[in-house]
Structure 1
Amino acid sequence: MSLYDSDRRYRRRFWGGVVRVVVFAALVVGTAIVSYQFGIEDLETRVRGYQQEIYELETRQNALEQETANLRVAAERAKLAVEEWERRYSADVPTGDRKQMLDLATERLQAGVSAERLGFLIGSAEEPRDCESVESKRFLVRTPLYDGKNTVVSFADDAIVVTGSGESAKTADGLPQAWFDPQLPVTIQITRIDGASREISGRLPLNASIIHGGAEHRFQLRAGATGFVQIAAEKCAYP
Structure 2
Amino acid sequence: MARRSRRQREQSKKFWMGLVKFGVFLGVVGATAYYAYEAGTQLSAQEITELKAEIGRLSQTEQAQQQRIGELEAGLTSAEQVAADYRTRYEEVAPEEVRAVLEQVRVKMEQGLSPERLAFVVGQAQPPRNCTAVENRRFLAKTENYDGANTWVRFNDMITVTATGRAANNGREQWYDPAQPVTVVFSPLGDREEEVTGQLPIEHSMIFKGKEYRFTAAPGARGFVEVTADWCDYGAG
The alignment's TM-score, normalised by the length of structure 1, stands at 0.51
Map 1:171-182 → 2, pairs under 5 A: 176-182=172-178
CA contact (8 A) 1:129 1:236 kept: no
User: Which residue of the partner structure matches residue 153 of structure 1?
Assistant: 153
Q: C-alpha separation between the residues in 2 aligned to 1:233 and 1:75?
A: 58
Unaligned stretches of 5+ residues in structure 2: 1-56, 97-125
What SS does the corresponding residue of 1:81 show, helix, strand or coil? helix
Distance in 2, Cα, partners of 1:96 & 1:168:
44
Give the alignment partner of residue 204 of structure 1, picking from 200, 212, 215: 200
Q: Is the 8 A contact 1:159 1:192 kept in 2?
A: yes
Partner of 1:144: 144
Match of 1:134 in 2: 134
Aligned mate of 1:213, from 209, 216, 235? 209
Corresponding residue for residue 83 of structure 1: 78
Match of 1:189 in 2: 185
- Larger strand proportion of the pair: 1
* Structure 1 pair 175–145 and aligned structure 2 pair: CA distance change class (3 A): closer
Q: Which residue number corresponds to residue 236 of structure 1? A: 232
SS in 2 for 1:179: coil
Indicate conservation of the 8 Å contact 1:161/1:192, yes or no: yes
Matched ranges for 1:30-45 at <5 A: none
Report the Cα distance in structure 2 between the residues aligned to 1:146 and 1:155, rounded to whole angstroms.
23
* One-letter amino acid of the counterpart of residue 158, structure 2: A
TM-score normalised to the size of structure 2? 0.52
AA matched with 1:190: F
User: Matched residues in 2 for 1:151 and 1:216: separation?
Assistant: 24
Q: How has the CA–CA distance of structure 1 residues 179 and 69 changed in structure 2, closer, same or farther, with 3 Å as cutoff?
A: closer
Question: Which structure would you say has the larger Rg?
Answer: 1
Would the aligned equivalents of 1:220 and 1:232 in 2 still touch at CA under 8 Å?
yes
CA distance change for structure 1 residues 130 and 150 in 2, over 3 Å: closer, same or farther? Answer: same
Q: Which amino acid aligns with 1:145?
A: N
Select between 71-80 and 213-222 the one with higher mean Cα deviation. 71-80
Unaligned runs of 5+ in 1: 1-61, 102-127
Contact 1:129 1:237 in 2 (8 A): no
Cα deviation digits, residues 85-141 of structure 1 (max 9, x gap): 21342366575267x97xxxxxxxxxxxxxxxxxxxxxxxxxx95263431111110
* Alpha-carbon distance between aligned partners in 2 of 1:161 and 1:67, rounded to the nearest angstrom: 68
Give a deviation string over 1:145-201, Cα, whole Å, max 9, x none.
Answer: 211111110011x2110001111111xxx5711110000011111111113211111
Root-mean-square deviation (Å): 3.6
Question: What is the CA–CA distance in structure 2 between the aligned matches of 1:176 and 1:212, rounded to whole Å?
Answer: 39
